[in-house]
Structure 1
């Protein structure tokens, strides 16, 4: 989802510092002081076999580490290992050793452990929110929301597995058939940098709930809260090896993880190009379960009736939230806004005024996640300048060098007069950038919305009940929100169409990912 922007890594020794003090940083002031006092000399370690440990690599590159920077300031926060293939295999073997026992634990036992994980996250909610905000660049308020969702992930699946159903059928009085599910095995769980804790736990919770074991790899850009999760799993009583967390980049660590023949399935959220690479790496492993939630360039359709006085404020608010929440770094953001021509000018004016007043850098808008991603967004905005797009808000930010960066700040940007074939209109920028384009008819609106290689989400703003169904059912998107955005019940299928991925997760759909089904036929006589 545009989330695979690289981060520089260097051949240097990782500092073997104790990081127990991270757990004392339950206020922003404490965490900031801790970072300053350590001057970037905080080292994160892998969590394998129920313990924190540095990877034992036989490779000559075993000392290579990745530097992780704070988006809001540009300063070095910590280093983390770039786990090499032999250490990746160690983690996979740990998960495989744990699988036979964990897969046979009762649902009640697994439920109790997941519930305890949820409770411990709740107890440390503010600490996780603080480190998530620092590590990713998002506002503290946004980070709290995402920690709450991570808590809900474990809570939801802890109860879901207690109320599962199966199907039984009679075959013309000859046989009784019934479906039996069992855990699929060891999974690679790979999550992106935009919502690190929330999306990682969205994978870990169902994986463990359905009796699988896992090796999880967070993004190298945002590994802090994944590192802290290991302590939560220890305290919750998760048996050693059931969940292993390894740190590293995609090219080295991630590729070794997904390609291993010891891995039975992959749940990945990230960029479409990385998803394609995973498909290629695993193409010969036919039985490997794949769930790939990939990129999005999502449309927001604004019909004239949604700009009537009684609902006007809601329309502007929902469209703005869908465009700029979390700096636009959410795969579900509506970055292509299409507005019915009769209200186009009014919408552009009021939308711009609302965003200018409500989305303020450093207050309600955080920094983008990395210097590399900052540069990506900057190049698209420079292209918009070259192509003479109209900037109603924002501008192309200046080029930065890491040593001089005071943070990766991109102000909310609203563009009109962007050509249909412009990369600004087509590509997933994954930042606080939105384009607004007029349309005349409902048919044109649907055509414009579907004119994309992606099909993850769409937002439909109208008061016409018939149109809600008529248009909503034509939009080529896995998730369609009508007069709202980002509202989701955890049992609903989550995933996209076209180049936005394959597979669905959530409730019974996650069960399909993490289990295998066999049908037993018993004679009826």
Structure 2
């Protein structure tokens, strides 16, 4: 494809702000070909003597199984070029006044708002989520840039006195060049959650979205161009983890890594950066989150809300949210009633192709199917759903659809209870009392989030403070104020982001001592 064809394709994509328009262009221009965004311009990565074949990754549309896009797999030479662009841009950007950085971020937020529906359409097509869910995530991306555009205008610092000797104060400097790596489940939202504070606090970056869902990042790069961001401040490159991501995080020129994704990849990042002690590290990894339902939450005037909350937390975005409550524990006195009402609610409310989208890829479909085959082999009870059909190469084009699945009687040591399935699958188990609920919730290698459903005010605090998680929602789920710390414990990661916690990630603090004489 020559540059004119590429420009025409990009223009055509930008005209597609409805599913109908997008379907029309895809019928004639499939697959889309993406380009890296480096030094303020789009480039097709070029081959070199050390990388004679850059290679492309085929990305498929989850709802149809059809080839959607060809994504460049950027080789180490191309990664280094992007890093050096960010490094060259850092001195000027780090000294740019906060008010000016704020204006850039605010402009990006405004452009996203102007093109809200276009981003939602392509996010829905690329990831498999419903259009309604995609709109929610675009709104959150808009909020990310808006929030950090104002946050940096109202920062505070600390000053202390050593009586009669010195005045000391804390000074923060941008940390440098960052590698920003985001996952496929909420592509735009989680990418902007990293880019917005990184740029706000004066750092430059090379961002790598998931190779499975790259289109919204490609569109976002064009918004950065429209907003007039200086060359090299933000660079977006495409590729897989072993080739592109590994080269990015391992570079000695990268001063920090913000990563959201799987625990095994987080472990690999820690290993590859072990000799770079100076690197700032924020790793938001997997979760196997418990929802604790106490008997008082199933009182006549509360049970409908309780069941709805637990189902939403389990099946929103096809269960492809790291914060989903995929282990439900219910007090034994109301366990049977809950299972019956929950199953019926899910059957009626969470419907494939209505508010349940397709899972993201054939590979992920096969992974979830493997867990459900295990459930069948272990004799676990399917209250709803079943083992989805095996897809052959011929029927792959039907898309990657899995019916919401409700499992009971799973052994506590089963992989179904202990491992992150990351799909529309939930297990329900009983507990005896408050202590037993906390024990079961904490019996996990993960510790990202938990949900507590109860009418008892004292229990809300007692249980929440004993749970080994980074976040707890009481009688609610997925509500966040962007200044609060986000992150997990145990194998769910290290570091926190949000407001001043993002400032800790992207800045270096030093203490300045001024003498009193």
Cα distance change, pair 262–420 in 1 and its aligned pair in 2 (3 A): same
Cα distance change, pair 79–15 in 1 and its aligned pair in 2 (3 A): farther
The 2-side partners of 1:61 and 1:511 are apart by 40
After TM superposition, which residue ranges in structure 1, 4 or more long, deviate above 6 angstroms?
A: 12-16
Given the alignment, which residue of 36, 39, 64 partners 2:55?
Answer: 64
Any idea what the Cα deviations from partners look like across 1:300-359, whole Å, max 9, x if unmatched?
Answer: 000000001121111111100100000000000000000000000010011011111110
Given the alignment, which residue of 48, 51, 64 partners 2:38?
Answer: 48
Equivalent residue for 1:354?
345
The 2-side partners of 1:445 and 1:57 are apart by 56
- TM-score normalized with structure 1 length: 0.96
Given the alignment, which residue of 219, 229, 233 partners 1:238?
Answer: 229
Cα distance change, pair 346–270 in 1 and its aligned pair in 2 (3 A): same
**Matching of residue 496 in structure 1 with residue 488 in structure 2:** yes
The 2-side partners of 1:475 and 1:237 are apart by 46
Equivalent residue for 1:382?
373
The 1-side partners of 2:287 and 2:393 are apart by 29
Any idea what the Cα deviations from partners look like across 1:185-207, whole Å, max 9, x if unmatched?
Answer: 00000000000000000000000
Q: Are the aligned partners of 1:301 and 1:339 in contact in 2 as well (CA < 8 Å)?
A: yes
- Superposed displacement of residue 62, structure 1: 2.5
Q: Are the aligned partners of 2:259 and 2:266 in contact in 1 as well (CA < 8 Å)?
A: yes
- Superposed displacement of residue 498, structure 1: 0.3
Any idea what the Cα deviations from partners look like across 1:353-407, whole Å, max 9, x if unmatched?
Answer: 1111110000100000000000000000000000000001011101113442110
Residue pairs, 1:6-17, within 5 angstroms: 17=6
- Superposed displacement of residue 255, structure 1: 0.1
Given the alignment, which residue of 497, 507, 511 partners 1:519?
Answer: 511
Using the TM superposition, name which of 304-313 and 488-497 deviates more: 304-313
The 1-side partners of 2:51 and 2:450 are apart by 48
Any idea what the Cα deviations from partners look like across 1:202-240, whole Å, max 9, x if unmatched?
Answer: 000000000000000000000000000111001111111
- Superposed displacement of residue 16, structure 1: 6.5
- Superposed displacement of residue 60, structure 1: 4.2
Q: Are the aligned partners of 1:14 and 1:64 in contact in 2 as well (CA < 8 Å)?
A: no
- Superposed displacement of residue 171, structure 1: 1.1
The 2-side partners of 1:345 and 1:278 are apart by 44
Q: Which runs of 5+ in 1 are unaligned?
A: 1-11
**Matching of residue 255 in structure 1 with residue 246 in structure 2:** yes
SS of residue paired to 1:177:
strand
- Superposed displacement of residue 61, structure 1: 4.4
Q: Are the aligned partners of 1:14 and 1:79 in contact in 2 as well (CA < 8 Å)?
A: no
Equivalent residue for 1:166?
157
Aligned-residue RMSD, C-alpha: 1.3
Residue pairs, 1:427-466, within 5 angstroms: 427-466=419-458
Equivalent residue for 1:3?
none
**Matching of residue 415 in structure 1 with residue 407 in structure 2:** yes
Equivalent residue for 2:19?
28
**Matching of residue 272 in structure 1 with residue 254 in structure 2:** no
Q: Are the aligned partners of 1:297 and 1:454 in contact in 2 as well (CA < 8 Å)?
A: yes
SS of residue paired to 2:167:
strand
**Matching of residue 120 in structure 1 with residue 111 in structure 2:** yes
Q: Are the aligned partners of 2:409 and 2:429 in contact in 1 as well (CA < 8 Å)?
A: yes
SS of residue paired to 1:112:
helix
Equivalent residue for 1:204?
195
SS of residue paired to 1:162:
coil
Q: Are the aligned partners of 1:13 and 1:64 in contact in 2 as well (CA < 8 Å)?
A: no
Equivalent residue for 1:5?
none
The 1-side partners of 2:354 and 2:24 are apart by 20
Cα distance change, pair 110–365 in 1 and its aligned pair in 2 (3 A): same
Given the alignment, which residue of 204, 207, 215 partners 2:206?
Answer: 215
Cα distance change, pair 31–166 in 1 and its aligned pair in 2 (3 A): same
Q: Are the aligned partners of 2:54 and 2:75 in contact in 1 as well (CA < 8 Å)?
A: no
- TM-score normalized with structure 2 length: 0.98
The 2-side partners of 1:495 and 1:13 are apart by 44
Equivalent residue for 1:109?
100
Q: Which runs of 5+ in 2 are unaligned?
A: none
Given the alignment, which residue of 462, 465, 474 partners 1:470?
Answer: 462
Using the TM superposition, name which of 273-282 and 169-178 deviates more: 169-178
The 1-side partners of 2:140 and 2:394 are apart by 35
SS of residue paired to 1:20:
helix
Given the alignment, which residue of 468, 473, 484 partners 1:481?
Answer: 473
